[in-house]
Structure 1
Amino acid sequence: MNQPISRRNVLQLSLGAAAISLLAACGGQTDDAGSSDAAKEAVEIRVGYIADYNGAALMAVADEEGYWAKAGLKPKYLPFTNGPLGIQALGTDNVDVVYIGSGALWLPASGKAEIWAVNSVSNADRIIAQPGMKSLADLKGKKLAVPTGTSGDQLFSLALAKEGLSRDDFEVTAMEPPAIVAAFAAGQVDGAALWYPLIDSAKKGQPDLEELFSNEDFIDTLTFPSTFVAAPGRAEKDKDLATSFISVVKGANDFREANQDKTIELTAAFLKLKKEDMEAQASVAKLFTSEELATLSTEGTVHAWLDGLQEQFQKDGKIPAATDSKTFYNAELYTGTAAV
C-alpha cells in the first residue's frame, strides 16, 4: 500500500527540485562564462629583442599604447645581445619571434627563420679603431674583435673588400658584443666591428676612437634592414599568432613614425636608459610607415634588399648560394594584415 505524501515531504521534494534546477542553471552560466573568459584570455607570445632603440622601440610603444591587449596577446620579453643568438633560441623553441639586424639575415636565407616584418633600415654599424689609427691598413697585423654573424661582421667584410684586404691580414678574434666593448675600452684590442649604442659605451674608455667605416659607405649598393623573424613555417602553422603580432608591430611602427620624441622617451624607460642615449640611437635609424613598408614589399624593393645581402653573404661564405627571398619573406603576410 502506498504511503501518503506529507506536506513536509512535498516541501522537501520541491526544495530539492529547485536546488537541482538552480545548480543546473549555475552550471550552465559557469560554463558559458568560462568559455567566454577563455576566448578572451590573452595568448602569451615570447618576444626576443636587443636592448637598443632599433631593437626595443616597438615593444616599448606596444606596451604603453595597449596594442598587445588589443591583439589578444601578452608578451614575455627575452633580451639577446645579437641576432644569431635569438635565432638559435627560435630553433630550440625558447622564443616565438625575435628582432634581428641585417647581419643576421644570412640565417633566414639559410632556412633557419622566416621574416614576419621589416622594422627599419640601419646605419648603426661601424668599424672602429684605437685613437690614431686612421685606416684598416693601419690595423694590419693587429687584433680586431668581431661578433661572428652579425651586422658588424657583415660591415667588416664589406670594408675588407673595398680596401683590397682579407681577414688573414689581421688577428681576428671572435667575441660577443659586450666583451668587445670592455676589451676595446681597456685597449686590449686595436679595432672592432661594432654598432651603436655599444660604441657609445666603448667611447667611455676611448673617447677619441676612430670610426673607419659605416653602413652609409655602402648605401649605394646595399641596404641594411632590421626585421622580426620566427621559426621557418611558423606562420603557416600558427597564422593567428603571426597576424596578431604583425598587427601590433604595424600599430607601434606608425605610432613611432608620428611620435618620435615620445617613442624615444618610452624606449628609454623600457630599457632603463637615458633619453639622450635613445636620441643618439634613433638618429642612425631610417624609419618608414607601415603603408610605405607594404608598398616596398609589394613592389619588390624589400626583396631586392634581401637579394643584395644574399650576394654579400655568399661572397663571405655564410651561405652556399642565394635563394629566392620569397621563400623566407612572405610579403603578402605583412601587407594583408591590418594594424591594431
Structure 2
Amino acid sequence: MSKTVSRRNALQLSLGAAAISLLAACGAKDQVGADGKKTVEIKVGYIADYNGAGLMAVADQQGYWAKAGLSPKYVPFTNGPLAIQALGTNNVDVAYIGSGALWLPASGKAEIWAVNSVSNADRIIAQPGIKSLADLKGKKIGIPAGTSGDQLFTLALEKEGLTRGDFQITSMDPPTIVAAFASGQIDSAALWYPLIDSAKKGKPDLVELFSNADFIDQLTFPSTFVAGPGRAAKDKELATGFISVVKSANDYRHANQDATVAVTAKFLKLKEEDMKAQAGVAKLFTSAELDELSAKGAIYTWLTGLQEQFKAAEKIKEVVDPKTFYNAELYVSTATV
C-alpha cells in the first residue's frame, strides 16, 4: 500500500474527531420507560436520508424499540467512516454505513450486524457539457474519501483505463462538495442521492457519467448496520435486540413504502417528495429474503467482491474471510420483535 493512500485513509478516519469528541462517551445505560418497564439505552448512528434513517423512523413510530427493551439515542453522521470512528470511541453502539465504508469492517474496525438494502444511489456527476470521464483530465474532482462515491470513482477509472493522477482530486466532505459543485469551483464529483438533488438546484443540467447500475454485474453495493469488532460476542443481548428491531422495521418498510416515506420525512424534518425520490435508488428485501441470502452465502459473496475492489484500490492489504466481520448465523437466528 502506498504511503499516499495510507495517509489518505488515516486522514479520513481522523476527520470530524473534534466534533465526535463532544458526544458523551459512555456504555449502555438502564432506563425506565413510560410504561415503567426497564429499557437499555442504545446509541444509534444514522445518515440523514431515506436509506440511512428510514428503519429508525419506522422503529420509533411502531414501538419496536420498546418491545425489544431498548431506548434509542440518535447521533447523525455525514458518512460511514466518521460513524465507524465513533464506534471506536464508544460514542455510538451501532451505526448505518454505505457500501463504500465497508473496507473498514474488512480491516477489522467494525462488524456487520445487519444488511439494510442494496444501493443504486451513487453517481459520478460533472458540469454541463462534459461527456465522459476522459473529458475531465486535468480538471478538479471533489471526492469524499472512503465512501461509496469514492468506491464508484475507482470502478469508473478501471473501466475507462484512467488513474487518479489524471485528475486534480480533492478530498472533501459531502456538503462542501455540493456547494463547490454548484458554484463551479469543481468540475466533477463522486456523490450520491439525495445530495445530488441539492447539487441540481444550482446546476440543473449537470451530467451523470456513472452510477452503481453500470457495475451491477461486477459488484453488489449493500448498506449495513455495524458495531465495534467483537461487540456482539460481548453483548449478545444488545445485538439480538437491535437486529430484531431492524428486522421488524425492515419488513414494515417493505410492505408499507409510502407510509415509510412519510414517517422518515417527519423523522428528518424534510419534505415527503424528497423522501420519495430517495426511496427509488435502493433495492429492498424482506427479512426472510435477507435470512436466505445470509444462510446461502450470497452476502458473503457480496462482501468478498467488495474486498477485491478495495484491495485493488489499496484501501485494504488483503481479502479476508467475510465471516470474520459478518455473522450470518446471528442475523438468521434472531427473530423479529
TM-score above 0.5: yes
Q: Distance in 2 between matches of 1:165 and 1:157?
A: 9
Spell out the pairing of 1:33-52 with structure 2 (5 A cutoff).
40-52=37-49
Q: Which residue of 2 aligns with 1:112?
A: 109
Give the one of 173, 176, 183 matched to 1:176: 173
Q: Which residue of 2 aligns with 1:165?
A: 162
Q: Deviations over 1:128-151 (max 9, x none)?
A: 000000110111000000000000
Q: Which residue of 2 aligns with 1:204?
A: 201
Spell out the pairing of 1:123-272 with structure 2 (5 A cutoff).
123-272=120-269
1:128 aligns to what SS in structure 2? Answer: strand
Give the one of 291, 294, 303 matched to 1:294: 291
2:165 aligns to what SS in structure 1? Answer: helix
Runs of 4+ in structure 1 deviating by more than 2 angstroms, as ranges, are 37-40
**Aligned partner of 2:202: which letter?**
G
Q: Distance in 1 between matches of 2:186 and 2:39?
A: 48
Unpaired stretches in structure 1, ≥5 consecutive residues: 1-34
TM-fit CA distance, 1:39: 9.6
Give TM-score, length-normalised by structure 1.
0.89
Q: Deviations over 1:21-56 (max 9, x none)?
A: xxxxxxxxxxxxxx9x99931100000000001000
Q: Does 1:282 align with 2:279?
A: yes
TM-fit CA distance, 1:71: 0.3
Q: Deviations over 1:269-326 (max 9, x none)?
A: 1111111111110001100000000000000000000000000000000000000000
TM-fit CA distance, 1:92: 0.8
1:127 aligns to what SS in structure 2? Answer: strand
Q: Deviations over 1:175-223 (max 9, x none)?
A: 0001000100111000000000000000010000000000000000100
Q: Which residue of 2 aligns with 1:13?
A: none
Q: Does 1:63 align with 2:88?
A: no
Q: Distance in 1 between matches of 2:287 and 2:120?
A: 20
2:204 aligns to what SS in structure 1? Answer: coil
Q: Distance in 1 between matches of 2:182 and 2:333?
A: 47
2:225 aligns to what SS in structure 1? Answer: strand
Q: Distance in 2 between matches of 1:80 and 1:254?
A: 25
Query: Of the two, which has the highest radius of gyration?
Result: 1
Q: Deviations over 1:68-106 (max 9, x none)?
A: 000000000000000000000001111000000000000
Q: Distance in 1 between matches of 2:36 and 2:165?
A: 59
Q: Distance in 2 between matches of 1:38 and 1:222?
A: 46
Q: Distance in 1 between matches of 2:74 and 2:258?
A: 23
Unpaired stretches in structure 2, ≥5 consecutive residues: 1-31
**Aligned partner of 1:203: which letter?**
K
2:162 aligns to what SS in structure 1? Answer: coil
Q: Distance in 1 between matches of 2:50 and 2:100?
A: 17
Q: Which residue of 2 aligns with 1:18?
A: none
RMSD: 1.6
Q: Which residue of 2 aligns with 1:316?
A: 313
